[in-house]
Amino acid sequence: MTQLYEWDASTYDALPLPHLGWGRGVLDRLPLRGDETVLDLGCGTGRDTELLLDRLPSGHVIAVDGSRQMLARLEERLAGRLDRVDVLHADIREPLTLPTPVDAIASVATIHWIHDHDRLFTSLASVLRPGGRLVVEGGGRGNIAAVSRALGVLGVDLGGSKWNFREVEETVVSLKAVGFDDVEVELRPDPIRLDAGAQFEAFLATVVLGPDLRELPAAERAPFVRAVAALIPDSTIDYVRLQISARRAESP
Ligand SMILES: C[S@@+](CC[C@H](N)C(=O)[O-])C[C@H]1O[C@@H](n2cnc3c(N)ncnc32)[C@H](O)[C@@H]1O
C-alpha cells in the first residue's frame, strides 16, 4: 500500500474552499440530539469537527485523518475544546478500530482518495452502531474531468490512478452489501470558478493535486501547475459530488 500523504494545512485553510458548503450540506443531512458520538472521517483541519461540536453540547467527536499537518491545524483550531474530541491519526484504507461503536459518521471530500470502497464501507459499518447514520460527500463520476483531461494532455498520471470517482448505482450496491439500508445516493455537479492566476494555481496545487504534486521534483511543481491551469477553461474546477446518506441496518 502506498504511503499516507501530507497536506499543506495552512494554505488549504486560506483558500476559498467549496468544502465549507459541502460540509454544511453533510451536517444538514445528519439529525443529531446533541449527546451522540460522531466520527468525522478525513476530518482535515477540523472545520466540520468544530461545527459538529457546536451541535453536540454533550456529545463527542472522533476526528480521524492520515495527515499530521491537518491534525495539528485541527488541534490549534479546537484548542480549549479538545476534551470532547478524540484525535486519531490513522490510515482509513485499513479497517478502523474504535473502543465503542459511534452513533453517526460524517465525511467531507475524503472517500474518493480511497480505492476500495467495499473495504471502506465494511470498516465503517463495523464501527457504527446498528441504526446509526452515515452521511458522506466526495468526488463522484465525472468529478474534475477538466483536470484529468489536462493531465492527459500533459501526459502525466498524477492523481488519475489514485482518485476513485464512483457512480451512484455501484455505491448503492456496495453499501447495501455490507449492511446499510435506507440508502440514498446522488451525483450533483457543483463547478467553482476561481480567480485566474495565483489563486487558481494555489487551489490546483493545494486542494486538487495536493499530495500528488510531491511525486514531481520541487523545481518542476510550479511550472507544472501553471501548465495544468492553462489547459482548464475559465479557471473553473468542474466538481461533481457524490452524496450519500445511509443507515446501518438494525439487524444484518
Ligand atoms: C480534501 S481533504 C478534506 C478534509 C476535510 N474533510 C475538509 O472538508 O476540508 C481530504 C482529507 O482526507 C485525508 N485522507 C486521504 N486519504 C486518507 C487515508 N488513506 N487515511 C486517512 N486520511 C486520509 C487527507 O489527509 C485529507 O485531510
Query: What residue ranges in 68-197 does DSSP mark as E strands?
Result: 85-89, 102-108, 128-139, 180-189, 192-193
| Residue 21 confidence (pLDDT) | 96
Cα(151) to ligand 1 centroid in Å equals: 22
Cα–Cα dist 146/20, whole Å: 22
Neighbours of 175 (CB within 10 A): 27
Local structure of 151: helix, strand or coil: helix
Residue bearing the CA closest to ligand 1, atom 23: 66
Cα–Cα dist 26/49, whole Å: 12
Query: Which cell is 153 given?
Result: 494532455
Cα(172) to ligand 1 centroid in Å equals: 22
Cβ contact 190:243 at 8 Å: no
Query: Which cell is 149 given?
Result: 483531461
The CA-atom distances, in angstroms, between 49 and each of 73, 115, 174, 202 are 12, 24, 27, 25
Cα(251) to ligand 1 centroid in Å equals: 31
Strand arrangement, sheet containing 180-189: 85-89, 60-65, 37-41, 102-108, 128-139, 240-248, 180-189
Residues lining ligand 1, Cβ inside 6 A? 4, 7, 19, 23, 42-44, 47, 65-67, 70, 91-93, 108-110, 113
Strand partners, 241: 139, 188
Amino acid at 74: L
Task: Name the percent of the chain lying above pLDDT 70.
Answer: 97
Query: Which cell is 9 given?
Result: 494545512
DSSP annotation of 115 reads S
| Residue 12 confidence (pLDDT) | 84
Cα(6) to ligand 1 centroid in Å equals: 9
Query: Which cell is 167 given?
Result: 457512480
Residue bearing the CA closest to ligand 1, atom 10: 110
Neighbours of 147 (CB within 10 A): 23
Mean pLDDT by 10 residues, the chain (252 residues): 80 87 97 98 97 98 97 97 97 97 98 96 98 98 94 77 90 98 98 94 90 84 95 96 97 65
pLDDT digits (tens, 9 = 90+) for 109-127: 999 999 999 999 999 999 9
Best residue among 12, 39, 43, 110 to mutate for probing ligand 1, ranked by most atoms within 8 Å of CB: 110
Best residue among 12, 26, 67 to mutate for probing ligand 1, ranked by most atoms within 8 Å of CB: 67
Cα–Cα dist 145/88, whole Å: 32
Cα–Cα dist 128/93, whole Å: 17
| Residue 158 confidence (pLDDT) | 64
| Residue 132 confidence (pLDDT) | 98
Domains of the chain: 9-144+161-193+238-248 (3.40.50.150)
Cα(162) to ligand 1 centroid in Å equals: 13
Cα–Cα dist 124/101, whole Å: 10
| Residue 159 confidence (pLDDT) | 54
